[in-house]
Amino acid sequence: MFPHRHLLGIEGLSPADITTLLDLAETYATANRGSTAPEPVLKGLTQINMFFEASTRTQASFELAGKRLGADVMNMAMQASSLSKGETLIDTALTLNAMHPDLIVVRHPQSGAVNLLASKVNCAVLNAGDGRHEHPTQALLDALTIRRRKGRLHRLTVAICGDIAHSRVARSNMILLGLMENRVRLVGPKTLMPSGLDQMVAETTDDMREGLKDADVVMMLRLQRERMDGGFIPSEREYYHRFGLDAEKLAYARPDAIVMHPGPMNRGVEIDGLLADDINHSVIQEQVEMGVAVRMAAMDLLARTLREARDA
């Protein structure tokens, strides 16, 4: 049903895989809103969250997802531990592997690091973000949110706006939305637009008006603080003026357009504070909610693969 050992990226998934995952996540989303607890399908399994890069939201989401399904969850803050002692990523992976976990959730500041780790362990690995490469559960939760709000996940026009160059969220979303046959536009200053991406997706532009025209979905990206001063953009205020989402720019999009943001938001930098809270457009809280459901579904499916492999 879900023929994968790991969830390392959206790349490698088929449209059928994505639909399977979203359908299951939908049932978990319903269960999470209701009073009945879901089946503890991860009971007896150990989940380790290894975050080599600071994260509150994603880590909490994975932790909650695991606990709701009955897993034993352990958090390891990796910045503080072995890396400072000079241990290599592979040694850390082997050490952990020897403790026989069933699911490892990894975030790492370098692209490809999670793939490397996954090649050295026997359990299922979920990528919670690697460098500028992929952040698959974010793209899946975005897809689920879009599908719920728009009633479909195809033939939509999606504008992804902001710091595309440094964003793994943009990459995973671009691949997923392209795979499901949507029209993807990338909008941002040329300094934050990697060369070559325009050959992967249909359109890139540095004009919000052009980029947002008739968009069904406007996806804003977080601008990292360290990129704000002079290096990539002249200043925070000029960025907000040209690329920050406010009611005026949103008016270029379709009247029923939804506004998304992976969080945490810089209000007044990439998005207007009032707009972020506008329940007629903003689905930012629903994204967070779907995050738990999607992660429950992903771990459920990988655990099934894992059990099948062990029974065989």
Partner 1 sequence: MPDRLILSNARLIDPEAGEIRPGGVILEDGLIAGFTDAAPEGAIDCRGKCLAPGIVDIGVKIGEPGERHKESYRTAGQAAAAGGVTTVVTRPDTTPVTDTPELLEFASRRAAEVAPVRVLPMAALTKGRDGREMTEIGFLRDAGAVAFTDADRPVRDPKVLLRAMQYARGLDALIIAHAQEPGLSHGACMTSGPFAAKQGLPSVSPMAERMQLERDLALVEMTGVRYHADQVTCAPGIAAIRRAKAQGLDVTAGTSVHHLTLNEFDVGDYRTFFKVKPPLRSESDRMETVQALADGVIDIVSSMHTPQDEESKRLPFEAAASGAVGLETLLPACLQLVHAGHIDLPHLFRALALNPARRLGLPVGRLAVGAPADLVLFDPDTPFILDRGTLRSKSKNTPYDGRRMQGRVLLTLAGGRVVFDRSAA
Tokens of 157: 């026009």
Pairing state between β 72-77 and 157-161 = unpaired
190 labeled part of a ligand binding site: no
Q: Which two tokens stand for residue 14?
A: 């088929």
Of the candidate residues 68, 168, 185, 281, the single one contacting partner 1 (CB under 8 A): 168
Q: Which residues, 6+ apart, have CB-to-CB distance to 309 below 8 Å?
A: 5
Rounded distance between C-alpha atoms, residue 148 and residue 43, angstroms? 29
CB 69 within 8 A of CB 40: yes
Measured torsion, CA atoms of residues 73, 260, 153, 297, in degrees rounded to the nearest 10: 10
Among 26, 41, 131, 242, binds partner 1 (CB under 8 A): 131
Out of 13, 48, 73, 89, the residue judged to bind partner 1 by CB under 8 A: 89
Under rule CB under 8 A, residue 268 binds partner 1: no
Residue 135: active-site member: yes
The count of residues interacting with partner 1 (CB under 8 A) is: 24
Other beta carbons within 10 angstroms of residue 221's beta carbon come to 25
The reply to whether 237 belongs to the active site is no
Give the separation between CA 253 and CA 243, rounded to whole angstroms.
Answer: 14
Binding mask 171-210 for partner 1 (x = CB under 8 A): x----------------------xxxx-xx----------
- The answer to whether 264 is annotated as binding is yes
Q: Residues 30, 43, 56, 57: which is the catalytic one?
A: 57
User: Is the Cβ of residue 158 or residue 201 nearer to partner 1 in the bound state?
Assistant: 201
Q: State yes or no: is 100 an active-site residue.
A: no
Which sequence positions are flagged as catalytic? 57-58, 85, 107, 135
Q: Which residues bind partner 1 (CB under 8 A)?
A: 11, 88-90, 108, 110-113, 115-116, 130-134, 168, 171, 194-197, 199-200
